[in-house]
A = this chain, B = another copy of it.
Amino acid sequence: VIAGLDARWTYPFIRHEGRRIVILAEGGMAPMGAKTAAGLLRYRGNEVVAVVDADRAGAVASECVGFGPEAPIVRTVDEALSHRPDVLVIGIAPIGGILPDAWRRHVLAGLRAGLDVWSGLHTFLGDDLELAHAAREGGCSIWDVRRPPLPQAVARRGGWPEAHVVYVTGTDCSVGKMTTAVELTWWLRKMGKRAAFVPTGQTGVMLAGWGVAVDRVVSDFVAGAAQAMVADAAAAADYVIVEGQGSLLHPAYSGVTLGLIHGSGASAMVLCHYWAREVVEGGYGVAIPPLDEVVSLYEAVARPVREAPVVAVSLNTCGLAPDRAAALAASVSGDTELPVVDSLSDAMQEVGEAVIRRFEG
């Protein structure tokens, strides 16, 4: 057992396979850095034996990101082999999702050493002749986590279950939606509720072992994919917590967001916000409006299909001094008239209570 392991790594809806994971996170080992790397470190950290990030080689992962295991950071996949990994996870997601040439040598090194490769890129590594050949030679496999399952279909009328569906959304990409969804699911289960986590992105799918990365699904079928996942989850749960994608405010990804809200049949929402984000990620020049306006916008868009009030705000306070974080949470709560939790403190109680109030009064 690696030092730094905590109880969160035993969540029953997170996989525990005893794998020995090396994460490729070139340039990403920082707070609010590579999302897939962070998700694995946080929730499958006991399986992570090394991280590749040349800039930070020599450090340990927990120092760089602020949580997770003390896994060593090394320069190359070849260097990581001394830690006897059996899987290489691509922990970074370049915009557009294409494998940069510089990363190809890492992947080839892993495959040739017999490591399975898990990738969440838009470009499927298993379809790449050189990589597929290397996997065959190495006797290992490539898992393209974003590859959509078949059949795909549009959302069906009447296909929404009776479950309480909570969509965890955000003011932007990379603000803490997946983490909030996992923590909220876990809190509800601890309270004795039958709650299920619905993964909709590559990291969530790697953690849960099922789900669909909906941003890789043909746009006409996004709502249908969400509907099908919610129906699957609702077969064994009363509360279905859907990991959100993108943001209504993000010009490149807003369509994915809305497809998920309507497709999942959301009847409540939790809004995630990162305190240091005044404009959306990527240089698009889009300002994030005051949070009460964002709440109103989400509710207005959901309403024609299903009434889905935002019941709480999950505030990502990464990098903020604790007293300032508390003051900000109080201020956001005043502005939105909603319960606000600091997602770094793991205190999902107020969010969970707000969710239960919404459905059980």
Binding site for B on A (CB under 8 A): 95-97, 122, 153-155, 157-158, 214-220, 222-224, 248-260, 262-263, 265, 282-289, 296-297, 300-301, 304-305
Contacts and interface: CB of A to CB of B under 8 A. Distances in A.
Contact of A154 (B96, B158, B214, B218): B96
Given A158-B283, A282-B157, A219 B259 contact: yes
A220 B216 contact: yes
A95 B223 CA distance: 14
Contacts of A97: 220
Nearest to A215: B220
A108 B206 CA distance: 44
B255 A223 contact: yes
Contact of A122 (B155, B218, B300, B305): B218
The number of times this chain is found in the oligomer is 2
B304 A301 contact: no
A253 B157 CA distance: 12
A255 B252 contact: no
Query: Which of A251, A253, A257, A262: most chain B CB closer than 10 A?
Result: A251
Nearest to A283: B157
B154 A252 contact: yes
Q: Which 4 A-B pairs have the closest CB atoms?
A: A255-B259, A157-B283, A215-B220, A155-B252
A2 B284 CA distance: 51
A260 B255 CA distance: 8
Nearest to A223: B252
A249 B301 CA distance: 8
A219 B224 contact: no
Query: Which of A95, A96, A289: most chain B CB closer than 10 A?
Result: A96
Given A297-B300, A301-B297, A219 B256 contact: yes
Nearest to A97: B220
11 contacts: A157-B283, A158-B285, A219-B259, A249-B304, A251-B263, A254-B259, A255-B255, A255-B257, A256-B259, A289-B304, A297-B301
Contacts of A289: 304
Query: Which of A223, A257, A288: most chain B CB closer than 10 A?
Result: A223
